[in-house]
Structure 1
Amino acid sequence: MAKSRAAVVFIHGLAKKPEKDELLKIWHWALLRDNPMPNVFGESNKGMNLDTEDAPTIMSYYADVFYGLDYEKDLQSYFEQNPVKQAGLELNSQGLTEVESGREPPIPVTPREAYFLEMLESKLAANLALEDDKVPDEAALPTGYEVAGFVPRRIREAIIKKAAMEAYYFLFNKEYVRPDGARFMVREALRQRLLDDVNHALAIADKVVIVSHSMGTMVAYDLLRNVKTCPRVSTLITLGSPLGVREVQAELAPERGGPDFPERVDHWVNIYDPLDPICGPDPRFANDYRPFKDRSVKDIRESNWGSWRHTITHYLAGVKFRAELTAALDRAPGVQ
């Protein structure tokens, strides 16, 4: 049976998520939309149907490691119809508003771990504005949809705790014990899941493109840089990534002089919105990650919109992102 020209491996970000198949449908929906926000992206922004592009997709899923079968049920913020009225919805779904019972903040064991948590939480806090516990009404929203900073204190604290927890357990390969008793060595588990998905992708396609979001970008980078059995990947696309945070870099690339471009990837495209609080501390990577031969990170600024500028469906709507994904699919295998 002939292989497809390319397979796309998606890997999601922080917090609990819809179940795996539902999440994959949401990412496809986000890519399919024609001209989703013309006042942000212009009038010429055709959607992408990967099913007709000879590009099968795989969702590399790890939310269950932390949240088990406690899937995100409120999907209204993913399928927004009115972007202005959407401002409040983004802050009240996507598993970001509460720290679930039984999931206490991580307790650092060493001074290095304590320093990491302190610095990561402080940098995230600096990028999440403190507001009253309410979301402004439609009339209060500025024009241009450049809405950032309307993050109520309660939600801000929940986001910081979730991000710190997931990053800590992953980067320090801690054992995470779910409330139901299931145990995972987090870095090992997430690495293996993504490695299995990349290998499966190469079994059905001539090349692999990884599209990663949020905390999932750490898993993708770690696999490509640090796992010797990882096969070559044509393109890595990072969206709303915290890989610019120095403390994250220190744990992902502790040797060889610091962070560098992974040898196992031909192209790395980093797309960011400076108003995204997760990547906001340092959204550009080319000045941090040492080139490998003639390969270096391509940083692209593209506006998100709404009150939560980290939303994956908004990143997937971007005209620049779609152009880069199209180029990655069209590029011949092995071309650098």
Structure 2
Amino acid sequence: MLHKLFVVLILFFQRACSSSLANAHQNAFRDEKTVVQKEYLKWVNHIGCKYLRHTWKSEKQKTKNKNKLKPCKTIKVRQNKKSKAKSSSGHGHFLSAQQAISSLPVTTNCRVEIPATMAYITLEGAGADKTIIEWDDTADRLGQSGQPLGTYGSATFAVNSPYFIAKNITFQNTAPSPPPGALGKQGVALRISADKAAFIGCKFIGAQDTLYDHTGRHYFTDCYIQGSVDFIFGNGLSLYHACHLHAVTNTYGALTAQRRESFLEETGFSFVNCKVTGSGVLYLGRAWGTFSRVVFAFTYMDRIISPDGWYDWGDKNRDMTVFYGQYKCSGPGADYGKRVKWSRELTSQEAQPFITLDFIGGHKWLKNLRISTPTHVLA
């Protein structure tokens, strides 16, 4: 797959669990909408630009794609304490995912696959309800350096390696949902800071800032993403196909916070054939970046969506620079009639670049990763 691929995978912790969150009563939206929206605006002004300040710089990796489809190594992780890691070959059975990862060389020219548990390049679980990686760090918690972890460092699972695949796994940050206006309570379930990554049949569960779609091109399909405030955020170029986006708040929240800062940046989030459900009042997105870009197409929206749809982060200048659009969405929350004037109901021609794999340049690299993609929309 890759020649001399440099990979760094940060795994903070793992353990199995199960969780369930109850949905709030839908009628609260009608009775409390006005109050909630006013409180939301107060909260946004209170948070201001102090929210999510952590930045990350990465060097571009230049690799030649040597299309080796079959993995040349298989590493198995077994949590049976009676087992002994086979160190002679460096690729036997290991007691933990970290031991398996540490056994790999810094450079490799083939895909390493670990089935059914954790993995270095391909991470495949036995099912999202069976294979769960969880932890509970938040941005204000102190790290080993004695300094707060920050949003970037709060991730339960972080990926910095390109051509990463995760299948049928739950990534969860179990930190409790913070009260409105609380600072430093961002708790990331997964951070993806690498190019050409794919997530298939995965779940991402958290509250504030669940999925840090940080940088790079990404493909999410048949995934479940749950949170309260900005629970999909970052500056990636990502296509979300057939995903279930679920809000868990009794007050107000925002689904996306996309951070495109320049008209020249080729970043943004596109949601195609998705479903938005949950509780409370939810904005489809707010403009973390001056040129924030998010599109929803063929997506069902429950009545939790605020009629305004979008928020400009309290900066009216961003009304002229953001790109927020809908295309052929359905459901009680999809009514475009009361949307903010600076959002768009896209024409077929305007929507086309956002609803195909061309949006992430995915026709080639997803094929090389042996990932099948739907043809009815993503042609």
TM range (shorter): under 0.3
Select the structure that is richer in helix. Answer: 1
Q: Which has the larger radius of gyration?
A: 2
Greater relative contact order, per chain length (Cα 8 Å cut-off, separation 6+)? 1
